[in-house]
Amino acid sequence: MSRLDRFETLTAARRFWVISSVHGDLGRLAAIHDVIEQRFEHGDRLVYMGNLLGYGQQVIDVMEEVLAFRRHLMGRFTLFPRDIAYLRGAQEEMLEQVLQLHFAKSPPAVLAWMLEHGLEGTLRGYGSDGREAARFARMSVSEIANYTVGLRSAIRAWPGHYSLIMAMRRAAMDDQRRFLFAHAGINPSLPLDRQTDSFWWGHPNFLRLERPFDGFQRVFVGWHPNHLGISEMDHATFIDAGCGFGGPLLACCIKENGEIMEAFEA
């Protein structure tokens, strides 16, 4: 992915709708979509803040719901594809890593860590599971590669799924660079174009952000390690109430000045 393709730029946005980490929970996502559909207006933009996948038992259904809602919004409000941003979360990053498992220095150890952090739900959705993956992880590089090719094919068998996953961006911003949307945060000591893993794993210093980051007025984040709901700091806002961990799914509508106009949960 080129530097230009790493980020989504939302142009001519009047308001921004953001949806926090879903973690394979279809019922909550469908309910959130219903509310957004009723309140969405021309000039609005939508950002999925990452972690559509993982943990839950309805990964496939969640992806189908996202694709269907995309078609509905684009048709009803004459949106362009880049008016809806999909951020790569930790779960999507782990899926990418398991698809390259044959390149890992220690495939069993890497896979075991990912399974402990939610990958199982995604594997099950696409016809595999942790036990099968672990069995291949202990085999030769060529046999691991056969497994990853099969998993990739299983994802491609669902129209639109692979393209959506591969098109997910590291972050999104508005065209005036007022607001940055990221999955888990940023490393405050690095400029935007040098950020990597902090986007999906977060960074401890981000929790102590003392000044605006890289010229942005505010950073909006869709995952928090403690799932605190809506948590506002001086220059950042966390939006995550623990969907997938027993908590609700959160969504917010953000005005042009960066204030949260309304928030709701399902």
**DSSP notation for 187-253:** -TTS-GGG--THHHH--GGGGG--S-STT-SEEEES--TT--EEEE-SSEEEEE--BTTTB--EEEE
Mean pLDDT of 49-78: 95
Encode pLDDT of 2-59 as tens digits. Answer: 444 689 999 999 999 999 999 999 999 999 999 999 999 999 999 999 999 999 899 9
Whole-number mean pLDDT of the chain?
A: 94
Q: How far apart are CA 38 and CA 174, in angstroms?
A: 23
Q: How far apart are CA 50 and CA 65, in angstroms?
A: 15
pLDDT bracket for residue 207 (50, 70, 90): confident
Tell me: pLDDT of 203 over 50.
yes
Question: Binning pLDDT at 50, 70 and 90, where does residue 208 land?
Answer: confident
pLDDT at 262: 93
pLDDT per position as a tens digit, 163-191: 999 989 999 999 999 999 999 999 999 99
3-state SS class at 34: helix
pTM for the complete prediction?
0.95
Structural domains of the chain ordered from first start: 12-89+168-265 (3.60.21.10), 93-156 (no CATH)
Secondary structure (3-state) at 37: helix
Rounded to an integer, what distance in angstroms lies between the CA atom of residue 95 and that of residue 53? 9
